[in-house]
Structure 1
Amino acid sequence: MEQNFNLIYQTCFENDSFLELQNFCTNLTSEEPDKIFKSLNFASIPEKLLITIIQSDNLQMEEIQVWKHVLKWGLAQNPELSSDPANFSKEDFNTLKNSLHNCIPFIRFYNLTSDEFSKEILPYKKVLPKELYKDLLKYFLDSNNQSIKQSKSRMTTKKNNIDSKIITTQHAELISKWIDRLKITDEIETAYKFQLLFRGSRDGFTAKKFHEICDNQSNTITIVKVKDSTEILGGYNPIEWNSDCCYRATKDSFIFSFRNSDDIESYILSRVKDEQRAIYNSNDFGPSFDYGLILINDSGLCGKNYYENQIRETEDGFIVEEYEYYDVTIEIGNDPYVKYIYDESISLDKHDIRNIIDILVAGSELGLQELIDYLQSFLIETKANWMEQNFN
């Protein structure tokens, strides 16, 4: 399926009935620009799509990277040009200037540093409009000007799709892979929703409060921030918690740690090896994966016992700085077994995206708004599948 994203983008912006899909495409390209900028198909995206991306205030990218990608796109439109501007003729600069003419106004040059301007912009000064180049030169040569004239800033704070004070979306994605027993390099097959049920700083750290809120909940993730360290600890329990002071059996529980919260690869994953003693329920404890990971109010400890690996270098106790507990459920829109049209007789997964676009257009022509809404939702909710197929 070639150029599916381009097809979806072009189709949705040709018809005002697809406003939801238009908004989704705009938000997606702003929040995940690398999906496009680093894709093999980047050189072939339409100029209109490129401009839509770079003019967004919410584009999650530093301005110098925006310039580099726009420049890369312009050079790709003219493969006869050298990659080194030192080898350009006057005609070469004019060719590149014509290709970038409509993009240049959306580059926020005044947000660059002087060093970035000197190293990355000056070699291509001849592709800039003369007045713009003069203004930039004055701006970067005179430090007094830099406190006055600036481009509008982009909101480059990454969106975090999980309500957590401890982990990021990247941690959640890796944990999702572990739930499905995937390798870290595998693509996510099932999208999970992490619904916050309990937070220590909000609800209290006592075992009593934990059981009041969390008993009878299954498919849950425990996340712990260790005080005075960069460590994150956690565990997954697919069965219910309760207070009956008994062991519970499961083959699918696991515990884990991240030695450095900022390093997604600094993890230890430990799956249960004694299924009959995977989980221990007690009203004196919070979540307890036996002694693999056990929380007692605002403290805890980690050993080995019935799990494959010890997730901390020491068995000494630790103090909990923050503690969160999540209900983990499959997002319906991303479950391949529940995507059916109306009577559940047709699975959209079995159809080429081009066919789905044809149905979307036909639905618009026939005024079938319910069908339009359904197909737009399907395309949006399954973005991971078609984005990865076409931009990796």
Structure 2
Amino acid sequence: MFISSELLLFELTKQIEIHLIDTKAHWLRFHFGKIYQKSFQNDQYQKLQEWCNDILVKYSKTIFESEDFTSLQENALISLLKRDDLQMEEIKVWNYIIKWGIAQNPGLSTDPNNWTRENFQSLKDKLQNCLPHIRYFQISGDNIVDNIELYQEILEKDLLKDILKRIANSNRNVQSKILPPRINFPQSLPSSLFFLKNGTIHSSILSRVKKPKYAIYCGPTVGPVFDNDLCMRNNFNQDKQCYCGQVSYEKAIRNVPGWFSISEYEIFEVQEK
């Protein structure tokens, strides 16, 4: 009976999350800070966590440059680091992670030149769940020397050596795991969404992009994605993995709330003569 009640509560939580995302997105954005913080205090709020991160990966400065960054919960930080579409240079990600880790060790100097071996170990222990998600092999040689070499004691054995090997020869085999580069949004891409409603041109919807930077992108498990205006995840034609909103395009192309599936889609490239 107790297990059944837990399962029922879990299912109810998921339905409430879906309802909020589908019908109360404006309210969620208005209270974004509290929603973001609360959603990561309970792992049951997976959809709200994902909804928050979908916004933060595009506007990463919102969280990384905030005064509250160093008080960010570890699981929230890790969830962002795992994202392939986090819009930030990798060396900046590294620097922010170091800043966060130092803040978790009260009394630790910000200058690693004055640290003892115990100081480095304390930082390594605090960042042990974050460091594996840094895309080290996407960082330039100059930034490796200027920003990472000082902290080599917190890195896994031979990682720095492998990084330097790859900088010298990008085809060289190394033992360290190489994560894929993050996906960057195009800086400028004219785009429009067209929805043929009721099979007639007259009642159809044409929505032009307002924020070209977020017009379209694809990832390993998503895409094409037209910001949150039309997002297709995983198997878009099953399991109701698609949703529509209105963020970076002029108009919402779908007014019916809820997740849905797409049977097929077409993408056209219009070229000027």
Partner of 1:127: 154
Q: Does 1:109 align with 2:136?
A: yes
Closer/same/farther in 2, CA of residues 29 and 193 from structure 1, 3 Å limit: closer
Closer/same/farther in 2, CA of residues 14 and 160 from structure 1, 3 Å limit: farther
Write the letter of the residue equivalent to 1:154: R
How much has 1:157 moved relative to structure 2?
A: 1.6
Closer/same/farther in 2, CA of residues 135 and 29 from structure 1, 3 Å limit: same
Partner of 2:13: none
Partner of 1:8: 38
Partner of 1:72: 99
Q: Distance in 2 between matches of 1:162 and 1:27?
A: 21
Closer/same/farther in 2, CA of residues 46 and 138 from structure 1, 3 Å limit: same
Name the SS for the 2:158 alignment partner. Answer: helix
Q: Distance in 2 between matches of 1:102 and 1:50?
A: 10
Name the structure with the higher strand share: 1
Indicate conservation of the 8 Å contact 2:36/2:49, yes or no.
Answer: no
Q: Which has the larger radius of gyration?
A: 1
Indicate conservation of the 8 Å contact 1:58/1:156, yes or no.
Answer: yes
- What is the 5 A alignment of 1:244-263? none
Indicate conservation of the 8 Å contact 1:60/1:156, yes or no.
Answer: yes
Q: Distance in 1 between matches of 2:157 and 2:67?
A: 33
Q: 2:113 aligns with which of 86, 99, 103?
A: 86
Q: 2:182 aligns with which of 150, 154, 158?
A: 154
Indicate conservation of the 8 Å contact 2:53/2:80, yes or no.
Answer: yes
Q: Normalised by the size of structure 1, how large is the TM-score?
A: 0.39
Indicate conservation of the 8 Å contact 2:40/2:75, yes or no.
Answer: no
Closer/same/farther in 2, CA of residues 21 and 160 from structure 1, 3 Å limit: farther
Q: Distance in 1 between matches of 2:61 and 2:100?
A: 14
Name the SS for the 2:250 alignment partner. Answer: strand
Q: Distance in 1 between matches of 2:110 and 2:93?
A: 17
Closer/same/farther in 2, CA of residues 136 and 4 from structure 1, 3 Å limit: same
Name the SS for the 1:56 alignment partner. Answer: coil
Q: Normalised by the size of structure 2, how large is the TM-score?
A: 0.55
How many residue pairs get matched?
Answer: 178
Indicate conservation of the 8 Å contact 1:6/1:45, yes or no.
Answer: no
Q: 2:56 aligns with which of 4, 29, 34?
A: 29
* Structural RMSD (CA): 3.7
Partner of 2:127: 100
Please list every run of 5 or more consecutive structure 1 residues that lacks an aligned counterpart in the other structure: 172-190, 196-328, 333-369, 374-392
How much has 1:55 moved relative to structure 2?
A: 1.1
Indicate conservation of the 8 Å contact 2:211/2:249, yes or no.
Answer: no
Name the SS for the 1:147 alignment partner. Answer: coil
Moved >6 Å (runs of 4+): 159-162
Indicate conservation of the 8 Å contact 1:75/1:96, yes or no.
Answer: yes
Q: Distance in 2 between matches of 1:80 and 1:74?
A: 12
How much has 1:129 moved relative to structure 2?
A: 1.5
- What is the 5 A alignment of 1:333-352? none
Indicate conservation of the 8 Å contact 1:33/1:59, yes or no.
Answer: yes
How much has 1:58 moved relative to structure 2?
A: 0.7
- What is the 5 A alignment of 1:190-209? 194-195=250-251
How much has 1:193 moved relative to structure 2?
A: 5.9
Partner of 1:169: 211
Q: Which has the higher contact order (CA 8 A, sep 6+)?
A: 1
Please list every run of 5 or more consecutive structure 2 residues that lacks an aligned counterpart in the other structure: 1-30, 193-207, 214-246, 259-273
**Identity of aligned pairs, percent?**
32
How much has 1:21 moved relative to structure 2?
A: 2.1
Q: Does 1:38 align with 2:38?
A: no
